[in-house]
């Protein structure tokens, strides 16, 4: 475990690259069950399991990139496509005996496990929002959008895994100053932001350029990037409760993306039910 900030983003990339990244315990269990019944497993079913776990998702994408060869004109940006490219048996052989997040943090401050599970749950919700809006917008590849939202906060998850003391320190600063920008808290503790680490990881792991672009908040003028960014924002702010003061701006911006009013966005999210004739107006 790292208990002090590393000197630069390259050092963080080296740390994450030289260690086997742990997955959720439930992911490991489901993969073991599917491997035992491999004759009845298909790529889409396997992809659904993987796409609930940010670390497992990025491990699969990083694994598949060197296998693409020169014959493929395009990056593999879907998990089902990655599994089919690898083949089921080679896939299960490659991802045998996976370490788990729960075992990695066992014996450490229990708040660290709670912290990482909170971020992962937030990432799952962001992925659900992003996919829903991609469908609404008739995006041609909604899974790319889902993956980008799921992986948007990957660097934060990895810091919790390998440097939980620093994750707790960032969390403490934000709790002490709720109005502090997340990036400011990260830079005060780490000397750089999660976004910087994340972009460096994308390059070193040769992740698809499209994915790197979709998780880069500097490109929010592009509708697909904005789809991802707003989903992440909504998941982050709503994690504090649906009365978070930042949410009205989120509803307005989401409405602009989807061509809906803020009230219609709230209804779409299931927060407000439309009035009926027998209800007071």
pLDDT in tens, 122-167: 999 999 999 999 999 999 889 899 999 999 999 999 999 999 999 9
- Cα separation, 4 vs 203, whole angstroms: 24
- pTM for this one? 0.90
Q: What does the block give as tokens for 215?
A: 């998780």
Overall CATH class of domain 102-268: mainly alpha
pLDDT tens digits along 168-191: 999 999 999 988 888 999 999 999
Confidence at residue 150, expressed as pLDDT on a 0 to 100 scale: 96
The domain limits of the chain are 21-100, 102-268
Question: In whole angstroms, what is the distance from residue 3 CA to residue 11 CA?
Answer: 14
Question: Which has the closest alpha carbon to 233: 152, 143, 139?
Answer: 152
- Asked if 118 and 91 touch (Cβ cutoff 8 Å), the reply is no
**Token pair belonging to 249:** 């701006």
- pLDDT > 70: percent of the chain: 93
């Amino acid at each position: 475990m790292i208990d002090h900030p590393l000197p630069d983003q390259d050092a963080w990339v080296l740390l994450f690259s030289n260690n086997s990244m742990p997955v959720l315990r439930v992911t490991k269990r489901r993969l073991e069950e599917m491997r035992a019944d491999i004759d009845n497993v298909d790529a889409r079913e396997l992809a659904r399991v993987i796409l609930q776990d940010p670390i497992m998702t990025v491990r699969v994408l990083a694994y598949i990139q060197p296998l693409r060869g020169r014959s493929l004109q395009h990056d593999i940006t879907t998990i089902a496509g990655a599994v089919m490219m690898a083949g089921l048996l080679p896939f299960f052989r490659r991802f045998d005996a996976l370490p788990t997040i729960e075992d990695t943090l066992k014996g450490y401050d229990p708040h660290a496990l709670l912290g990482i599970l909170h971020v992962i749950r937030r990432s799952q919700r962001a992925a659900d929002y992003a996919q829903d809006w991609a469908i609404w917008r008739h995006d041609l590849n909604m899974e790319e959008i889902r993956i980008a939202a799921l992986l948007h906060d990957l660097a934060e998850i990895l810091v919790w895994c390998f440097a939980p003391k620093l994750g707790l320190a960032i969390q403490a600063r934000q709790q002490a100053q709720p109005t502090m920008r997340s990036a400011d808290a990260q830079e005060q503790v780490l000397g750089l932001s999660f976004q910087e680490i994340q972009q460096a990881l994308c390059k070193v792991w040769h992740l698809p350029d499209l994915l790197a672009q979709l998780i880069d908040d500097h490109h929010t003028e592009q509708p697909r990037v904005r789809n991802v960014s707003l989903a992440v924002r909504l998941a982050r702010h709503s994690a504090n409760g649906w009365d978070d003061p930042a949410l009205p701006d989120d509803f307005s911006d989401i409405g602009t993306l989807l061509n809906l009013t803020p009230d219609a966005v709230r209804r779409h999210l299931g927060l407000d039910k439309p009035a009926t004739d027998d209800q007071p107006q």
